[in-house]
Structure 1
Amino acid sequence: MEGCLKGGVVINGTPIKLNPILDLPYQPRLKGSAKSLRQAENLPEVLFWMQVHKGKFHQLDFDRQRIIGNYIVDFYIKKLGLVIEIDGDSHDNKVNYDSIREDYLISLGLKVYRVLVDDILRHMDFAIMGLEDYIVKEYGVSSG
Structure 2
Amino acid sequence: MKELARSLRRNQTDAEQVMWGRLRNRQMLGCKFRRQQVIGSYIADFLCMEPKIIIELDGSQHWEQQEYDEQRSRYLQSVGYRVLRFWNNEVLQETEAVLEAIRLAVIDLSPHPSPLPEGEGVGPTF
Verify: 1:41 aligned to 2:12, yes or no: yes
- Could you report, residue by residue, the CA deviation over 1:43-100 in whole angstroms, capped at 9, with x for unpaired residues? 1001100001011111110010000000001000011111110122121101111111
Is residue 5–residue 37 contact of structure 2 (8 Å, CA) maintained in 1? yes
Task: Provide the identity percentage.
Answer: 27
Report deviation, 1:139. Answer: 4.1
Specify the alignment match of 1:3 in structure 2. Answer: none
- Could you report, residue by residue, the CA deviation over 1:26-59 in whole angstroms, capped at 9, with x for unpaired residues? xxxx011000000012110011000010111111
Which among 49, 53, 56 is matched to residue 78 of structure 1? 49
Distance in 2 separating the partners of 1:80 and 1:138: 6
TM-score (norm 1): 0.73
Distance in 1 separating the partners of 2:28 and 2:51: 13
TM-score (norm 2): 0.83
Specify the alignment match of 1:89 in structure 2. Answer: 60
Structure 1: tracts of 5 or more residues without a match: 1-29
Specify the alignment match of 1:136 in structure 2. Answer: 107
When the two chains are superposed, the root-mean-square deviation of aligned CA atoms in Å is: 1.9
Report deviation, 1:136. Answer: 2.9
